[in-house]
A and B are shown apart, each in its own frame.
Chain A
Amino acid sequence: MRGSSLSHPAVLETLRPFIVVSWNGTSTREMPEDIWEIYRAGNLGDRGGAIRLFVLNPQGELVRAFFPFAGPSPATLGFDRQRMGLFLKQEIEKATAQLDLSGVKTAEPKLRLPEVGPNSKVTQMPAGVRILLSLEHPFASSFRVPVVETVANSAAEEELLHYPQQPKTIAANSLKRWLEQIYPPAMMERSGRIVEISGDLNFRPAGSEKNEQLAILQGTVHFTFDDARQTRYQGSLAMTFRYTDEGQQMESFRGLYRGIFPKWDKQGKGLVKILMQGVLESRPD
């Protein structure tokens, strides 16, 4: 839904007056009381899939509940983004017909990406990293919108990524908290997490520019993913780090990851290669 109907321009425009919020869990048993109340009042049954949508009025009361797809899955509309988008728009409009939105003021749309909050655990490097993972699947639409994850840095990354006075090798696994975000969405098998990361990364000083000392981190990262086949995949990472105070303070970093995730298609279409390209950037700026 995120990569298909929700990102359809007509749906985005229809949702401008709304405040949008999501809740995620593996089952209804984990639901806090306020969410369970809405969920139960929606009375949607079990046939429409794992995503349920609710429109609430400004008082927080349920107006309408519905599924994002015309049938039990996106397949009902042929995985057609246009049809799925128009279907969702119509469903939202059925709810807004019962609401008076004439007085609602909406701000100009502005991108607000997931952000790293204040972080007192590090003082010599930025608070965290944002990873934007773009994916290209040969036929599935669920990969169209990039995954955007953030990770707060810890003392371990701060210690590891001190300015390298000499070239050195660091284990990719020691950056696991960052790199374990590099996997495709919609896997839905076993724990769906990365269980092992290996590889060596070369960390080298790369000269000075103005008052900044630069360093480059580069190498190949190997992953083992916890799905039905324990899929192994690999990719290439290259990052630039900028320091001040003769290397004492890391100011920023930017990096690029590129690789392929081999996935066995459940509908019998054989092995598909999901192209993954990740941008890693220090946050805040």
Chain B
Amino acid sequence: MHESLVIRMPWASRLLLIACLLPSSSACQAQADLLPQPARRSVQPPRRPTKSTDPFQSLLDFVRQEQEIEFAKPLPEFPATVKGAQLIEQQVRAAYPSKKELAVYSLDWEPTLAAARKRAQVEQRPIFFIVVTNYSGPTNFFSGHC
């Protein structure tokens, strides 16, 4: 789950998620038991586990629903004041992806094979070359729209 998106979760959801991620947390089971359980339609056991029978998955589904509600809403109306402008900047900082999320950009990228070859020779380093041939859509592996 994106750290920057978790930041946008409502506090209640965040606390539930944190409680559930704690090792050996009895809070996890306790919280999961509090979640609404679906009505049992049959005495036959389900053929495979479903979202509703896995407490941890139920919790994640709940958090996900909360996120969807949050993302469907427009951003709050920011007042046309210095405070309003600063509030937007604060929200931008909170939404900024973490270093961990952006870790592919810690690799030593070059924009072209020719440039990579030139440096490789000078620095005596190998090249890792990624070739993408997508028949549709814009493709840019480096930016991520691929």
Q: Real complex partners, A and B?
A: yes
By a beta-carbon cutoff of 8 Å, the part of chain A in contact with chain B is 1-3, 6-7, 9, 12, 15-28, 34-35, 38-39, 50-60, 63, 92, 95-96, 99, 101, 103-107, 109-114, 132-136, 138, 144-150, 167, 181, 183, 185-193, 204-209, 214-216, 218, 220, 236-240, 242, 254-256, 258-260, 273, 275-277, 279, 281
Interface size class of B (residues with CB under 8 A): 35 or more
Within 8 A of A (CB), among B116-141: 116-117, 119-121, 123-141
Taking CB atoms, residues of chain B closer than 8 Å to A106 are 108
- Chain A nearest Cβ from B45, distance in angstroms: 23
A2 and B102 CA atoms in complex are apart in Å by 11
How far is B51's CA from A138's CA once the two chains are assembled, in angstroms?
12
Report B-chain residues with C-beta under 8 Å of the C-beta of A28: 133
The CA of A254 and the CA of B126, in the complex, are separated in Å by 38
Cα of A254 to Cα of B78 in the assembled complex, Å? 14
Q: Do the beta carbons of A185 and B145 come within 8 Å of each other?
A: yes
Known: A136-B1, A216-B85; 9 extra A-B contacts, CB below 8 A, are A21-B109, A21-B129, A26-B133, A27-B133, A51-B141, A54-B131, A106-B108, A109-B107, A111-B105
Cα A252 to Cα B125 in complex, Å, equals: 38
A239 closest partner in B (C-beta): B88
**B64 and A145 form a contact (CB under 8 A):** no
- Our pick among A35, A50, A109, A113 for the contact of B134 (Cβ within 8 Å) is A50
Residue of B nearest to A208 (CB): B82
Contact present for A216 and B131 (CB under 8 Å): no
Contacts of B101 in A (CB 8 A): 134, 144-146
- From A25, A146, A147, B139 is in contact (CB under 8 Å) with A25
Closest Cβ–Cβ distance, residue B119 to chain A (whole Å): 6
Contact B129 A38 (CB under 8 A): yes
Question: Is residue B144 within 8 Å, beta carbon to beta carbon, of the partner chain?
Answer: yes
A258 and B75: CB pair below 8 A? yes
Q: Are A2 and B141 in contact (CB under 8 A)?
A: yes
> Which of B29-80 touch A at CB < 8 Å?
64, 67-68, 71-75, 77-80
Cβ-neighbour of B126 out of A101, A105, A133, A134 (below 8 A): A101
> Are B127 and A55 closer than 8 Å at their CB atoms?
yes
Cβ of B12 < 8 Å from any Cβ of A? no
Q: List 7 A-B pairs, minimum CB-CB distance, nearest first.
A: A192-B137, A147-B144, A204-B80, A109-B106, A56-B127, A60-B117, A24-B139
In the docked arrangement, what's the CA distance between A96 and B121, Å? 16
Contact of B71 among A2, A18, A207, A275 (CB under 8 A): A275
Known contacts A17-B125, A23-B113, A193-B137, A254 near B131 by CB under 8 Å:
no
Complex Cα distance, B64 from A118, in Å, reads: 41
Residues of A within 8 Å of B110, CB to CB, are 19-21
- Separation of A118 and B108 alpha carbons in the complex (Å): 21
The 18 listed contacts between A and B (C-beta, < 8 Å) are A12-B104, A15-B107, A19-B108, A21-B109, A22-B131, A23-B130, A58-B124, A60-B121, A60-B127, A103-B124, A104-B123, A114-B143, A134-B4, A148-B102, A192-B136, A205-B80, A220-B74, A256-B88
User: Across the interface, do A26 and B146 meet the contact criterion of CB distance under 8 Å?
Assistant: no
Inter-chain contact B139/A258, CB cutoff 8 Å: no
Cα(A24)–Cα(B109), bound, Å:
14
Q: Are B75 and A18 in contact (CB under 8 A)?
A: no
With beta carbons under 8 angstroms apart, the residue of B71, B80, B120 that contacts A60 is B120
A28 to B92, CA, bound (A): 40
Chain A contacts of B109 at CB under 8 A?
Answer: 19-22, 112
Q: Are A24 and B97 in contact (CB under 8 A)?
A: no
A26 touches B139 (CB 8 A): yes
Q: Closest approach, in angstroms, between the C-beta of A131 and any C-beta of chain B?
A: 9
Residues of B within 8 A of A259 (CB): 71
Q: Which of B71, B96, B104, B120 contacts A19 (CB 8 A)?
A: B120
